Structure 1
Amino acid sequence: MPAPFDDSAPDALRLRALRKSFDKGAGKCAVDGLDLAIRPGEFYALLGANGAGKTTTLRMVAGLLQPDDGEISICGVDARKNPLVAKAVTAWLPDEPLLYDKLAPLEYLEFVAGLWGLDNAEAAARAEDLLRRLGLWEQRNQRCEGFSRGMRQKVALAGALIHAPRLLMLDEPLTGLDAGAARLVKDMLTEQTRQGVAVVLTTHILEVAEKLADRIGIIAHGRLIAEGDLAGLRALSAAASASLEDVFLDLTARGVAA
């Protein structure tokens, strides 16, 4: 069911002419004048080959990289001029999240909640709710050092959600998860969009994007070369009834050639 978009609200994320180069002498940009707009409550999949600029884009939005040029607006806040305000409504989950192995999940969430200045009672209630929904309540007092990749990924997701962000960005969150853990994470993300949270997901598992995303953006060489729902992307492709995989390969091949 499509997310209930609020047309009166500012975009959850808007990028204008965003640019980043790591080797200015080579004349190549990792992100090259990227324009993007994502609405509150939208599930947006950002797809591209390795090195296309996906992670660099999200790291700039998260404030971990400084853009060379361009604008970043998060929920109507200029993230370059007011980074603390923008970060307060943003969460970023990288493909290799950092956990403190000597902490248990409950301790980790209490620590993260403290960084955001949450009231102790509110933090405890949110932590219990997240750990129960992610199937980690029984392990709440076990150290993370012995956890599987899937369990660590779920703890990291709980940490990203503890302060109730309005923009949630995830880089390959399903990599290495078993079917049960992947289903829990996907259900949690879908629930977030129903609550008005904008979810931006990068993934190489195209079936996930095909099933979950309201819109899909395809990026190549730091530029957005195609955007829309699956039907719209098919219309841009040579194969009108193709799978997302076929459409993606066709559009990226033509985008790169161009």
Structure 2
Amino acid sequence: MTANAPIRTESLTKRYGDELAVRDLSLTVERGEVFGFLGPNGAGKTTTMRMLTTLTRPSSGEAWVAGAPITDRDAVVDELGYLPEEPPIHDELTGREQLEYVAGLRDSPGTETDERIRELLARFDLADDADDRISTYSKGMKQKTALIQALLHDPAVLFLDEPTSGLDPRAARTVRNLITELREEGMTVFLSTHILPVVEELADRVGVLHDGRLVAEGSPESLTHRAESGEESTLEEVFLEVTSERPGEAAGADAERSEFVR
């Protein structure tokens, strides 16, 4: 564990009334690492990402992103890019206007930003549609526009929540290739998705959240080799194993991490 890792949490917890959405989450993601964040619906993945991107305050615990505590919102936001599952884009704007608007919010307009917008529009096959209103875009085109705006300022840490949602196979491959290239350039990527083959292909390490707890953590290979059957397993089988309710374990009850956790 590195003290100045791009993402680090210690006992991070979020409570909504009597409900614990995230429970004592402690993890570290190193520079240039793709961390696959898995879990069933309602496990606490989105709440975790919202805390790490400063959109939701934790109830207790601490976290740091790009060396800054998440309580220092300005410092954290300057260094992160975030693609939420429902990205904030404005249908009344054109694609280019949306990206210029986001660049303006970050005080980064200018020739260099204009060039980066052109480069990313071309990379995602949106150059010909950049001056059409977003209201005319397909879901996949909107998703690509949202991903571009998350990358505009070349963040040190990128949070992606279902980044290939709504994309056709060619566009999804473009996104996967881009994630690989970003990792090679030293960017840290925190990737949440339900598409397990994407995680197996891209992730250096995987964390599985269940009922707000980190129940498994390790490389995809280590998790599949340490399945409770003692045999080679797929990541899907490991995921189903560690997120299933064990005999005698009440739903929501406190329990120690699974033997898969390293």
Q: Residue by residue, what CA displacement relative to the aligned partner does 1:14-36 show, whole Å, maximum 9, x if unpaired?
A: 01110001123xxx310001001
**Contact 1:166/1:198, CA 8 A, preserved across alignment:** yes
Q: In structure 1, what is the equivalent of residue 258 of structure 2?
A: none
Amino acid at match of 1:139: D
**Contact 2:22/2:48, CA 8 A, preserved across alignment:** yes
**Contact 2:2/2:28, CA 8 A, preserved across alignment:** no
Matches within 5 A, 1:43-58: 43-58=34-49
Q: In structure 1, what is the equivalent of residue 193 of structure 2?
A: 203
Matches within 5 A, 1:174-185: 174-185=164-175
* Alpha-carbon offset, residue 234 of structure 1: 2.1
**Contact 1:237/1:251, CA 8 A, preserved across alignment:** no
**Contact 1:21/1:68, CA 8 A, preserved across alignment:** yes
Q: Residue by residue, what CA displacement relative to the aligned partner does 1:51-75 show, whole Å, maximum 9, x if unpaired?
A: 1110000001111111101111012
Matches within 5 A, 1:62-77: 62-77=53-68
Query: Which of 149, 162, 179 matches 2:152?
Result: 162
Name structure 2 gaps, 5 residues minimum: 250-254, 256-262
Query: Which of 211, 219, 241 matches 1:250?
Result: 241
Q: Residue by residue, what CA displacement relative to the aligned partner does 1:78-126 show, whole Å, maximum 9, x if unpaired?
A: 121x210111001111111121111111111111111111141111011
What is the number of equivalent residue pairs in this alignment?
248
Matches within 5 A, 1:10-89: 10-24=4-18, 28-80=19-71, 82-89=72-79
**Contact 2:224/2:238, CA 8 A, preserved across alignment:** yes
* Alpha-carbon offset, residue 176 of structure 1: 2.1
Amino acid at match of 2:125: G
* Alpha-carbon offset, residue 9 of structure 1: 8.7
Matched, 1:241 2:235: no
Amino acid at match of 1:14: R
Q: In structure 1, what is the equivalent of residue 252 of structure 2?
A: none
Q: Tell me, in whole angstroms, the C-alpha distance in 2 between the residues paired with 1:152 and 1:9.
A: 37
Q: In structure 2, what is the equivalent of residue 131 of structure 1?
A: 121
SS of aligned partner of 1:190 = helix
Greater share of helix: 1
Q: Residue by residue, what CA displacement relative to the aligned partner does 1:138-194 show, whole Å, maximum 9, x if unpaired?
A: 111111111111100000000000011111111112122211111111111211111
Q: Tell me, in whole angstroms, the C-alpha distance in 2 between the residues paired with 1:53 and 1:237.
A: 23
Q: Tell me, in whole angstroms, the C-alpha distance in 2 between the residues paired with 1:255 and 1:170.
A: 31
Q: Tell me, in whole angstroms, the C-alpha distance in 1 between the residues paired with 2:181 and 2:132.
A: 27
Matched, 1:147 2:137: yes
Q: Tell me, in whole angstroms, the C-alpha distance in 2 between the residues paired with 1:242 and 1:236.
A: 8
What is the TM-score of this pair, normalised by structure 2?
0.90
Amino acid at match of 1:36: L
Name structure 1 gaps, 5 residues minimum: 1-6
Query: Which of 209, 218, 222 matches 2:208?
Result: 218
Q: Tell me, in whole angstroms, the C-alpha distance in 1 between the residues paired with 2:44 and 2:246.
A: 14
Q: In structure 2, what is the equivalent of residue 95 of structure 1?
A: 85
User: RMSD between aligned alpha carbons?
Assistant: 1.7
- Compared CA separation, residues 56 and 22, structure 1 to 2 (3 A): same
**Contact 1:20/1:32, CA 8 A, preserved across alignment:** yes
* Alpha-carbon offset, residue 8 of structure 1: 8.1
